[in-house]
Amino acid sequence: MTSDPLAAREPASAVAVLGTGIMGSAMARNLVAAGLRTTVWDRSPQATAPLAAAGAVVAASARDAIADARAVITMLPDADAVTAVMFAQDRPPFAPGAAWAQMGTIGVEATAGLADRLALVRPDVLFVDAPVSGSKGPAEAGQLLILASGPAAAEPVMAPAFAAIGRKAVWLGAAGQGSRMKLVVNSYLSFLIEGVAEALELGRRLGIDPAGLDAVIEGGPLDAPLADAKLHKIARGDFAPEFPLEWALKDVDLAIAAANGPPLPMLEALSRQWHAAVEAGYGRDDVSAARLALS
């Protein structure tokens, strides 16, 4: 009698995604596409409806979402939201031995606070600090760079989920190192974007066509792929959010808060400029809308 090869397979890993905005919804779709049993929850129920159509299970509450998940991903906007959702009860109802990957960018201090609080009430749960580098396009393509940090025992638990949502997961050591690296990476990214915005504004004042600037830079040592993509986006007048300006500003301010020692003058000047841009109404536009605040 020939055995059914499907019956011999191990059941699909159970993953929960809490927070299904731009990034979380893309992650959930890729988890479903990879064959992982995926449960989703969001504070706004309408955000999960398209994911149900894609094959995800929609939970009625965060508690229900994580109850039987081997891997839990939070992709929520800030530390207050993560704390409110995950510690609505003193003892979060994780499955025994689950791993929790906190993947939103909430800063170094808040990440340490979550890890310490979890250790007190659920020492059996593996805490992974794993922010991502990449915006809407890479998230949708499953090409995020995952800056993971946490216990070695969490790596095999998170491996199927990370393989579905990312091009690579870099493990950086103890929990907290991922958040530190993310702030450094996003500070660099912010300088590139503001540099493109100001170069284009200077070019406008000097009568330089954006296409001419692109032609001079293309293929040379200054042709950074991200800067090139934002240059084209700005030139098209396309400010649809891939990485909203208000999120980018949040990360800049978290980096300033985490820094020790003398001031970081460029980062602090960038923060002031982007605060002005957000106050002018550009916060929910793409970060490339930093260009609009210069006109």
Tens of pLDDT, residues 92-119: 999 999 999 999 999 999 999 999 999 9
Same domain, 139 and 197: no
Backbone angles phi, psi at 12, to 5 degrees: -60, 145
CB atoms within 10 A of CB 272: 9
Same domain, 205 and 147: no
Same domain, 123 and 189: no
Same domain, 143 and 208: no
Q: Domain containing 139: what range?
A: 5-173
Q: What is the pLDDT of residue 10?
A: 37
Same domain, 95 and 36: yes
Same domain, 109 and 160: yes
The tokens of 185 are what? 């990476």
Same domain, 112 and 244: no
Same domain, 167 and 209: no
Q: What is the pLDDT of residue 5?
A: 40
Residue 179 has pLDDT above 70, yes or no: yes
Question: Which residue is listed with tokens 């109404």?
Answer: 281
Residue 39 has pLDDT above 50, yes or no: yes
Identify the CATH number of the domain in which residue 263 sits.
Answer: 1.10.1040.10
The CA-CA-CA angle for residues 287, 289, 292, to 5°, reads: 155
Share of the chain above pLDDT 70, in %: 96
Share of the chain above pLDDT 90, in %: 91
Residues 183-208 as b/e (b if ≥16 CB within 10 A, e otherwise) read: bebbbebbeebbebbebbbeeeeeee
Domain boundary among 158, 173, 188: 173
Same domain, 241 and 264: yes
Residue 22 has pLDDT above 60, yes or no: yes
Tens of pLDDT, residues 126-155: 999 999 999 999 999 999 999 999 999 999
Residue 46 has pLDDT above 50, yes or no: yes
Domain boundary among 173, 198, 215: 173
Same domain, 158 and 215: no
Please, which pLDDT band fits residue 89 given cuts at 50, 70 and 90?
Answer: confident
CA distance 19 to 4: 37
Identify the CATH number of the domain in which residue 53 sits.
Answer: 3.40.50.720
Same domain, 185 and 289: yes
Same domain, 162 and 67: yes
Domain boundary among 115, 150, 173: 173
- How many folded domains does the chain comprise? 2
